[in-house]
A and B are shown apart, each in its own frame.
Chain A
Amino acid sequence: MQDRPTASELLTTIADLLEGDVLAATKGGLQHNVRVAGNLCRILEREARLGGAHDAREIELLADVLGEPAGGRSARDLSAALAARLEAGHDAALEKRAFPALLEIVRGKLAIAKPGHDDYDFSGEQLS
């Protein structure tokens, strides 16, 4: 166990510095980059808190869609396996099973990368 502050606490501290004093002391293109860096720290802070649970849930959902035990495979490997199955030919049942799982996984990523992006539900502009 590392000593306090935790990764999450340190990332908040760095983000506060970037979005406060550093932003005020910069301008133009550098200021834009500082704003981006501050936002990335906020993302990493949420990842430090929520990333572990998200990854575990992603693995569980992907294994379930594939109908196989995860068997110690990473989310990346399981994603590759699912993408390959989806590409192998039209399997309506697989797509139907995959859709809600993929939506839940994406919502989990957004809780870290862009909270609130999934508030909008696209009602009225459905394409299919």
Chain B
Amino acid sequence: MSVVEQTAKGLGEFLSQKWGKRVAIENAELASAGARRRNVLFDAVAGSERTPLVATIVPFAAMQLLPIEVEASHLELAEAAGMPAPHLHAVCSDASFVGGPFFVTTRIAGETIPRQVLRLVERTPGLGPRLARQCGAALAKLHAADASRAHALIARPNGDPLDAALANTRRSLDELLQPSPAFTLCFNWLKRNRPPAPRRIAVVHGDFRNGNLIIGADGLRAALDWEVCHLGDPMEDLGWIAQRMWRFRNDSLEIGGFGTRDDLRTGYQEAGGEGDEARFRWWKAQGTLRWGLGLAGQAKQHLDGSVPSIVLAASGRRVAELEYDTLMLLRRGFE
């Protein structure tokens, strides 16, 4: 029996128990198989009722940082806040059904692969700016959610979120296998240009960007991948979606390769979000540096044998891209 067939069998047993009626699983299909998550699309058929669903499975218990209920709770919190997110149907921490803990959500049609998203934008007049505004509005709604209602185990910064980010960056710099004076220079800029802390701590998606969004001709349909959702500075999310690496070569459009910073800002403010230019800029630089250090860390995981992978090895040779991006972002400060 293939992995997908085994998964379908386990999902059928689980949903039959959960819903108290016989549920057949049809059209099961592996949508993506990353190191951290496996997504299986399927139809749950109970009598004459057919429900299109997705199971998000953590393949190995060891890869799981937090109980699966925590990630699932973020989806519910987002939906309640009015942010487009897949509706949660069930959570299961029992690994015996499908070989790992998992949750089941509504399947939403649309594009998620960045280049296909950009192609859709190209052939749909007005979609790019609309999408960037919708992204702004979606983030404003999430950021307006009451952070005290988030799951008790949600990741939270140790103190001020900017200080916590600086401390994490410092640690990553110290762990580099070879020194990067370019990153050190950028870290100096971050320390010197640290803006005041935000007035309030918000629920932050943490990886809201082209590639983690379901998009149709009508625009943003859902935000995916809530694994790194945490409490922090809302401007972190705005700085992250503005990173060059999420533009997929469409460099002139700062937001995901489809919209401008003004589009994003307009959507954010119209939905009640309060932007802060200084913190946006700071998080944008921090995000670029963090991703560069993250790539170096991936290469290290390959080299020290903890996760042997040619993809992680190749990440090491991508570090220069992020050194270039950080230097160019901060160029005016050093010229």
Interface majority SS on B: helix, strand, loop or mixed?
Answer: helix
A118 in contact (CB, < 8 A):
yes
Contact yes or no, B334 A95, CB < 8 A = yes
Q: Can you name the residue of chain B whose Cβ is closest to the Cβ of A82?
A: B181
Q: How many residues of B contact A (CB 8 A)?
A: 41
The CA-CA distance from A121 to B18 in the complex, in Å, is 55
Contact yes or no, B317 A113, CB < 8 A = yes
Which of A29, A33, A76, A122 has the largest number of chain B CB atoms within 10 A? A122
Give chain B interface residues in 171-185, CB to chain A under 8 Å. Answer: 178-182, 184-185
Contact yes or no, A86 B317, CB < 8 A = no
A interface, size bucket? 35 or more
B320 in contact (CB, < 8 A):
yes
Which of B33, B180, B254, B317 has the largest number of chain A CB atoms within 10 A? B317
Contact yes or no, A36 B320, CB < 8 A = no
B66 in contact (CB, < 8 A):
no
Contacts A114-B318, A114-B320, A127-B285: A106 and B327 contacting too (C-beta < 8 A)?
yes
Sample (18) of A-B pairs whose CB atoms are under 8 Å apart:
A33-B310, A39-B314, A40-B317, A62-B181, A79-B178, A79-B181, A86-B184, A96-B334, A98-B334, A99-B331, A102-B327, A110-B321, A114-B320, A120-B251, A121-B328, A127-B284, A127-B329, A128-B329
In order of increasing CB-CB distance, the 7 nearest A-B pairs are A128-B333, A99-B334, A109-B320, A122-B328, A83-B179, A120-B251, A82-B181
- Residues of chain B having any CB pair with chain A under 8 Å: 33, 178-182, 184-185, 188-189, 192-193, 242, 244, 251, 254, 261, 281-282, 284-285, 310-311, 313-314, 317-318, 320-321, 323-325, 327-335
